[in-house]
């Protein structure tokens, strides 16, 4: 386990024009805050009222931007989450103090986004920086409203409302909410879409202190799972980040809540009171019991409060004198939270599939070591591999010879061979039983006493008397099937010579069948000298029985009426886009998908050649550098020894001359290879352009097909003229019923205005626009349905 550490507590002061400078002062280190109250003179001369308080925290954020808040509070928690540590960031404070703004920010402005959107961006940025690991991201969004659990992402078409109420469940791995949907997301834009979808489903209300007051506690959880791309690595790490936006505590006298808002405020204050009790208990080292189960909020946050987690609290307060009493209450809560300690540790797990593969490799190595050991001890005939068919056949032959008496003993080699010997004993015994039964079937006809069909057929043939006894049955013996010879006189009992008992089987079985028979279900046959049935009679009886049984088992066959080709039924909820995309690539988009794969393979081949050429160029460059150093050394050596000239020409030795020739050849190769590399880069650029075009075409065709197949209602498709200039897919879904509003143009203008200031905001605004389009479409559809009903 990791070392224990205290919870980090920060205070963020809401900006205001009426800041109480005389009552609220900050320390020089920006880590303390002092509160001063004037004494109430109405209490008289003896007045023991406390007037000064001082709170030591991890940071005071006054007039701080959203960037500074995230860097100070959340960046380290999110960064450590990708290393396997759980993290929780909680916003607490009075209603209207800025908790939701700190956590979510203003979604209309990218710069004012809060901790939650920034955390999602940081997670995906860090994933891109870790190419050695395959990291999956999952998301859930839980709301606790009036002590009831709700899934804020249940409105998605592929989720739907839960039939059973959600419950909080504990197991050895921790606390989780049963029934809460968890969504896999691989892109930053998809994560933002889930966030905005959940935000639109939150419950808010208005009162005198806050026009958009959150009436519920919300927990947005990011689940991370990181696997190494190295196949031999069987360990992987998991973690989760809980981002908690608590509903604000409120004084009913100030908020003026009534009716439903009053009921909500009661539940909110009650749950926050239980949360404070749990924090006080966690801060007391002598307490054994922590009251986590008093409310749903503390129960859901059991892992985060004092567990295996990096915990950070952001306390939002007012800076006005009128709210000083609530500010003191919030600061006391932050001070109590600083007394709580957590024990963060890396969550390591093991991949069972990779463990099996590693164990198989280790087993193969151990077998090789055993083989070496056996060869050194002259035991080369011992094998540790599973026996093949030839070895099993040899053991079967040894067992048969041992039973026949031609083999005195079977040599024992290994434990695997001993087990196989016993197995072959069982096989040989079963085969002998089947051979005996097959021999008896060729001579006698066996019937089951419970087989009514067979007995009825025998009675028709005159082989059974009125009492149900077979003709020729001796007294005191079990009945047997036989025809009494004509020489037998009535009343004269034939003396049986020998009696052989065998389990009966059904006559419907084919003659010569060798499967074993259960003796409990069948009766026994008694044969004597006068009860032997000729083989021809056996055949007649069997034929008659088989015909009778076939007649009784014939059922009318259904008529082969031609099947009408059914029209494909449209599903109630559209499939997820990844699933639909795979179907599209295999069917309607197979041709363009094939072209895309071919272009991509050509691009990869060019890139591979460019990489090899670059490596070759680098090798030539290194060789040129080595040759230059050697040539410079030869020149310096020649200068030290003195210059030799002949008729005005410099004379050099043979070694220096060879180095000059070598350097010349290397430079020639370098220029040639560099030219090839330039050509390859031009080809790569062109191939990349083709791949991008194919990808864009494939995605565009998929969007059109998906909208036509699953999104656009059938009644709207029927409304579009089949031969007209407008067809489904050409018009965006949100504009089918509202062609006058051009959201795409607005979005393009927004991109042009915002992107130069925030290049990373594209996924943020894409998700926001998609959610707005979806809700506009749903509102329009509902309006059409209501108008149709009227």
Nearest residue to 209 (alpha-carbon basis) of 349, 49, 342, 322: 322
Give me the residue label for tokens 């066996």: 446
Cβ neighbourhood burial of 38 (10 Å; 0-12, 13-18, 19+): exposed
Nearest residue to 772 (alpha-carbon basis) of 204, 200, 139, 118: 200
247 close to 215: Cβ distance less than 8 angstroms: yes
Phi and psi torsions of 379, nearest 5°:
-120, 50
Separation CA 61–CA 26 (nearest Å): 10
DSSP3 helix / strand / coil % (the chain, rounded to 5): 50, 15, 35
Tell whether 472 is in a known binding site. Answer: no
Tell whether 174 is in a known binding site. Answer: no
Local structure of 145: helix, strand or coil: strand
Separation CA 652–CA 638 (nearest Å): 8
CA distances from 83 to 79, 237, 764 (A): 7, 7, 25
Give me the residue label for tokens 């009679």: 537
Nearest residue to 300 (alpha-carbon basis) of 136, 437, 149, 82: 149
Separation CA 495–CA 475 (nearest Å): 10
Give me the residue label for tokens 């959600």: 166
- DSSP single-letter state for residue 522: S
Separation CA 294–CA 277 (nearest Å): 10
CA distances from 148 to 167, 168, 171, 206, 268 (A): 9, 11, 21, 21, 12
Phi and psi torsions of 60, nearest 5°:
-115, 120
Tell whether 99 is in a known binding site. Answer: yes
Tell whether 2 is in a known binding site. Answer: no
Separation CA 217–CA 144 (nearest Å): 5
Tell whether 98 is in a known binding site. Answer: yes
How many CA within 13 A on the CB side of residue 514? 8
- DSSP single-letter state for residue 669: H
In this structure, the dihedral spanned by the alpha carbons of residues 553, 554, 560 and 564, taken in order and rounded to 10 degrees, is: -30
Tell whether 96 is in a known binding site. Answer: yes
Separation CA 781–CA 778 (nearest Å): 5
Tell whether 783 is in a known binding site. Answer: no
Separation CA 502–CA 377 (nearest Å): 55
Please name the residue ranges forming H helices in 251-388.
Answer: 252-255, 260-283, 296-300, 324-338, 352-376
Nearest residue to 512 (alpha-carbon basis) of 455, 443, 448: 443
CA 418, distance to chain mean position in Å, is 45
Give me the residue label for tokens 């056949």: 393
Q: Give buried/exposed letters for 378-409 (b at 16+ CB in 10 A, else e).
A: eeeeebeeebeeeeeeebbebbeebeeeeeee
Which DSSP helix (H) or strand (E) runs through 596?
helix 590-641
Separation CA 420–CA 398 (nearest Å): 11
Nearest residue to 544 (alpha-carbon basis) of 458, 482, 440, 472: 458
Residues at the binding site for ATP are 93-100
Residues at the binding site are 93-100
């Amino acid at each position: 386990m990791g070392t224990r550490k205290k919870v980090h507590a920060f205070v963020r002061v809401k900006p205001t024009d009426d800041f109480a400078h005389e009552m609220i002062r900050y320390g020089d280190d920006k880590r303390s805050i002092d509160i001063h109250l004037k004494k109430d003179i109405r209490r008289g001369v003896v007045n023991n009222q406390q007037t000064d308080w001082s709170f030591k925290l991890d940071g005071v954020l006054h007039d701080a931007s959203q960037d500074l808040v995230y860097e100070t509070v959340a960046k380290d928690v999110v960064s450590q989450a990708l290393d396997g540590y759980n993290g929780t960031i909680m916003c607490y404070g009075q209603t209207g103090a800025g908790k939701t703004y700190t956590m979510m920010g203003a979604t209309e402005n990218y710069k004012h986004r809060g901790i939650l959107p920034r955390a999602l961006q940081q997670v995906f940025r860090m994933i891109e920086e870790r190419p050695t690991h395959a990291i999956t991201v999952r998301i859930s969004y839980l709301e606790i409203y009036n002590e009831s659990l709700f899934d804020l992402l249940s409105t998605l078409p592929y989720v739907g409302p839960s039939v059973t109420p959600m419950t909080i469940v504990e197991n050895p791995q921790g606390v989780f909410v049963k029934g809460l949907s968890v969504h896999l997301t691989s892109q930053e834009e998809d994560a933002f879409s889930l966030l905005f979808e959940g935000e639109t489903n939150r419950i808010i209300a208005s009162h005198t202190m806050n026009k958009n007051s959150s009436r519920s506690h919300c927990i947005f959880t990011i689940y991370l799972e990181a696997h190494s791309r190295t196949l031999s690595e069987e360990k992987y790490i998991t973690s989760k980040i809980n981002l908690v936006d608590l509903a604000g505590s409120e004084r009913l006298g100030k908020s003026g809540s009534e009716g439903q808002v009053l009921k909500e405020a009661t539940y909110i204050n009650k749950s926050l009171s239980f949360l404070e009790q749990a924090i006080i208990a966690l801060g007391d080292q002598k307490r054994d019991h922590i009251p986590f189960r008093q409310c749903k909020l503390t129960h859901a946050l059991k892992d985060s409060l004092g567990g295996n987690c990096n915990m950070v609290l952001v306390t939002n307060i007012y800076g006005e004198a009128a709210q000083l009493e609530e500010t003191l209450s919030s600061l006391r809560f932050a001070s109590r939270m600083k007394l709580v300690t957590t024990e963060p540790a890396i969550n390591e797990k093991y991949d069972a599939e990779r463990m099996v593969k590693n164990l198989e490799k280790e087993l193969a190595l151990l077998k090789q070591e055993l083989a070496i050991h056996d060869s050194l001890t002259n035991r080369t005939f011992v094998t540790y591999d599973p026996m093949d068919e030839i070895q099993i056949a040899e053991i079967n032959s040894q067992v048969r010879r041992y039973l026949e008496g031609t083999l005195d003993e079977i040599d024992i080699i290994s434990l695997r061979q001993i087990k196989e010997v016993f197995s072959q004993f069982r096989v040989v015994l079963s085969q002998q039983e089947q051979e005996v039964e097959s021999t008896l079937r060729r001579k006698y006809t066996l019937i089951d006493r419970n087989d009514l069909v067979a007995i009825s057929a025998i009675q028709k043939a005159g082989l059974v008397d009125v009492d149900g006894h077979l003709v020729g049955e001796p007294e005191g013996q079990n009945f047997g099937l036989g025809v009494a010879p004509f020489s037998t006189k009535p009343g004269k009992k034939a003396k049986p010579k020998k009696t052989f008992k065998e389990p009966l089987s059904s006559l419907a079985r084919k003659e010569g069948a060798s499967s074993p028979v259960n003796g409990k279900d069948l009766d026994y046959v008694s044969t004597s000298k006068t009860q032997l049935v000729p083989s021809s009679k056996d055949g007649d009886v069997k034929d008659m029985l088989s015909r009778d049984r076939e007649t009784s088992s014939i059922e009318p066959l259904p008529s082969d009426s031609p099947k009408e080709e059914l029209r494909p039924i449209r599903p109630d909820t559209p499939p997820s886009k990844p699933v639909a995309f795979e179907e599209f690539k295999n069917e309607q988009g197979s041709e363009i998908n094939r072209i895309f794969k071919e272009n991509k393979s050509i691009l990869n081949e060019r890139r591979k050649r460019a990489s090899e050429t670059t490596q070759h160029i680098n090798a030539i460059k290194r060789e040129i550098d080595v040759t230059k150093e050697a040539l410079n050394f030869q020149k310096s050596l020649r200068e030290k020894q003195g210059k030799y000239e002949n008729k005005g020409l410099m004379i050099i030795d043979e070694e220096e001359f060879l180095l000059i020739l070598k350097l010349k050849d290397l430079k020639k190769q370098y220029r040639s290879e560099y030219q090839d590399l330039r050509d390859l880069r031009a080809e790569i650029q062109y191939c990349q352009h083709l791949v991008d075009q194919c990808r864009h075409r494939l995605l565009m065709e998929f969007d059109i097909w998906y909208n036509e197949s699953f999104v656009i209602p059938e009644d709207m498709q029927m409304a579009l003229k089949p031969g007209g200039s407008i067809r489904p897919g050409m018009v965006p879904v949100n504009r089918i019923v509202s062609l006058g509003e051009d959201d795409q143009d607005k979005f393009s203008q927004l991109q042009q205005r915002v992107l130069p200031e925030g290049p990373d905001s594209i996924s943020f605004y894409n998700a926001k626009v998609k959610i707005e389009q979806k809700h506009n479409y749903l509102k329009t559809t509902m309006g059409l349905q209501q108008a149709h009903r009227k």
